[in-house]
């Protein structure tokens, strides 16, 4: 089914949405709009590169500095994972536990907040955003998650505060005016079932933020992601921006597990499962191994039928996550045993583009754009 699109004209820093194709209510099943193509010189149907956690290959993830670098490198969209604070603000972190990505352990005033929780069946110990007010979180500073792979990024440890989603949106507008481009976000609702269970749900806060920022409309530069299903199905009735169903290579969505629904991610990516997803989502965001699996020696095998199956169901496909460093690459593309050195990520990204993906998430947006330009011959 043909998707409705809204053109965006960028003129002297003014972003004018054309009326053509504007829907007046939630899109009908199977007709979710795609986020608008933007002024990159790419066409509407060109693959979309999403800066994963910003430009997390170069800066501590999910900081304004990481997002700004990604946008300045040329991508139009950044991936923004969202978790709530104790006082109901949405902040950009990959998970509620912040011991691995901030200096919270160095703050004696927060030592007593260290605790253990079970989230989606996994026991975690550390400090959790939902136990801190935004003002308290603002006293912390971000640090590099994987210094063993990205030692140079530690240069930036301690420099950048935790950002709210509102601050990310403010930056997108400010920078968009400077760069004369529409800059967008792919917010991801993290641990939906868990946060709902503790009476601090993410979805109503996200919808309120989109409404407040004029972003709950077809053509807005936003696509909402989740690894869960029920929340996306509910959001489909509440928002007019596209949705992206994330899937993992194994296991099952936490909401389905909680409800006793036996469906797994493998069921979701079956042809019948994909047709169900297409009723509420525009995109499928699979683990990259679901598109091109690795064999026992960690070398790439043949592409699965997932891209073709998803396209047949009317879904676009944007796998995650592409990273330049050796340990994240197939064995045959590694340059050495070094965990910090880059391997031949161009070959990996080219293989996925050739397999027909409609975009992908990358920690090094500049490298990914180079791959895209090669693929498009521009
Ligand atoms: O959002 C796409 C991809 O980022 C999903 O993985 O774990 O980084 O949220 P994760």
Substitution site in 55, 96, 361, 363 for ligand 1 pocket (most atoms within 8 Å of beta carbon): 361
Q: Average pLDDT in the 79-103 region?
A: 98
State which ligand 1 atom lies nearest to the alpha carbon of 81: 9
Distance of CA 95 to the CA centre of its chain: 13
Protein residue with its CA nearest to atom 3 in ligand 1: 320
Residue 7's pLDDT band (boundaries 50, 70, 90)?
A: very low
What's the predicted TM-score (pTM) here?
0.89
For 108-117, the CB contacts below 8 A with 24+ separation are 110/136
Residue 363 in contact with ligand 1 by CB distance below 6 A: no
Q: Please give the share of the chain, as a percent, with pLDDT higher than 90.
A: 88
Q: Average pLDDT in the 277-284 region?
A: 98
32 within 8 A of 24, measured Cβ to Cβ? no
Please write the tens of the pLDDT for every residue from 289-335.
999 999 999 999 999 999 999 999 999 999 999 999 999 999 999 99
Enumerate the domain spans of the chain: 29-95+163-375
Residue 61 in contact with ligand 1 by CB distance below 6 A: no
pLDDT given for residue 24 in this prediction: 26
Substitution site in 81, 92, 146 for ligand 1 pocket (most atoms within 8 Å of beta carbon): 81
For residue 146, the number of C-alpha atoms closer than 13 Å in the C-beta half-sphere is 13
Q: How far is the CA of 361 from the centre of ligand 1 (A)?
A: 8
Residue 81 in contact with ligand 1 by CB distance below 6 A: yes
The C-alpha atoms of residue 370 and residue 79 are separated, in whole angstroms, by 19
108 within 8 A of 102, measured Cβ to Cβ? no
Q: Average pLDDT in the 73-101 region?
A: 98
What's the topology of domain 29-95+163-375?
Answer: TIM Barrel (3.20.20)
Helix (H) or strand (E) holding 192: helix 192-197
Residue 227 in contact with ligand 1 by CB distance below 6 A: no
Helix (H) or strand (E) holding 350: helix 345-354
The C-alpha atoms of residue 284 and residue 227 are separated, in whole angstroms, by 10
In 122-168 the beta strands, taken as DSSP E runs, fall at 122-126
The C-alpha atoms of residue 206 and residue 83 are separated, in whole angstroms, by 10
Q: How far is the CA of 75 from the centre of ligand 1 (A)?
A: 17
Q: How far is the CA of 56 from the centre of ligand 1 (A)?
A: 12
Residue 240 in contact with ligand 1 by CB distance below 6 A: no
Substitution site in 82, 246, 250, 251 for ligand 1 pocket (most atoms within 8 Å of beta carbon): 246
Residue 25's pLDDT band (boundaries 50, 70, 90)?
A: very low
Residue 66 in contact with ligand 1 by CB distance below 6 A: no
Residue with more model confidence, 262 or 28: 262
For residue 369, the number of C-alpha atoms closer than 13 Å in the C-beta half-sphere is 18
Q: How far is the CA of 77 from the centre of ligand 1 (A)?
A: 14
Residue 62's pLDDT band (boundaries 50, 70, 90)?
A: very high
Substitution site in 51, 94, 243 for ligand 1 pocket (most atoms within 8 Å of beta carbon): 94
State which ligand 1 atom lies nearest to the alpha carbon of 318: 2
Please write the tens of the pLDDT for every residue from 43-52.
568 999 999 9
pLDDT given for residue 44 in this prediction: 61
């Amino acid at each position: 089914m043909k998707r409705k699109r809204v053109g965006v004209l960028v003129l002297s820093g003014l972003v004018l949405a054309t009326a053509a194709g504007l829907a007046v209510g939630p899109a009908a099943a199977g007709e979710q709009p795609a986020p608008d193509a933007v002024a990159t010189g790419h066409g509407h149907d060109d693959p979309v590169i999403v800066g994963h956690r910003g430009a997390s290959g170069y800066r501590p993830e999910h900081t304004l500095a990481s997002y700004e670098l990604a946008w300045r490198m040329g991508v139009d969209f950044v991936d923004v994972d969202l978790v709530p604070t104790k006082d109901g603000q949405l902040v950009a972190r990959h998970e509620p536990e912040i011991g691995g990505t901030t200096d919270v352990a160095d703050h004696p005033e927060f030592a007593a907040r260290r605790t253990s929780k079970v989230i989606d069946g996994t026991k975690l110990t550390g400090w959790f955003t939902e136990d801190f007010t935004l003002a308290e979180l603002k006293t912390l500073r971000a640090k590099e998650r994987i210094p063993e792979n990205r030692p140079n990024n530690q240069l930036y440890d301690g420099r950048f505060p935790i950002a709210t989603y509102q601050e990310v949106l403010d930056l997108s507008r400010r920078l968009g005016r400077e760069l004369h481009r529409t800059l967008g976000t792919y917010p991801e609702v993290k641990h939906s079932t868990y946060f709902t269970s503790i009476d601090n749900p993410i979805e109503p806060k996200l919808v309120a933020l989109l409404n407040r920022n004029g972003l709950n409309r077809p053509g807005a530069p936003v696509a909402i992601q989740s690894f869960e299903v029920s929340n996306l199905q509910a959001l489909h009735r509440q928002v007019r921006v596209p949705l992206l169903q994330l899937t993992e290579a194994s296991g099952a969505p936490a909401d389905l597990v909680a409800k006793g629904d036996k469906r797994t991610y493998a069921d979701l990516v079956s042809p019948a499962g994909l047709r169900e997803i297409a009723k509420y989502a525009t995109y499928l965001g699979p683990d990259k191994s679901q598109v091109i699996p690795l064999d026992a020696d960690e070398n790439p095998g043949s592409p699965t039928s997932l891209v073709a199956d998803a396209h047949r169901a009317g879904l676009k496909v944007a796998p995650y996550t592409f990273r330049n460093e050796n340990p994240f690459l197939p064995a045959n593309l590694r340059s050495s045993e070094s965990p910090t050195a880059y391997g031949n990520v161009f070959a990996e990204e080219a293989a996925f583009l050739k397999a027909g993906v409609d975009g992908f998430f990358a920690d090094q947006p500049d490298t990914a754009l180079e791959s895209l330009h090669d693929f498009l011959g521009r």
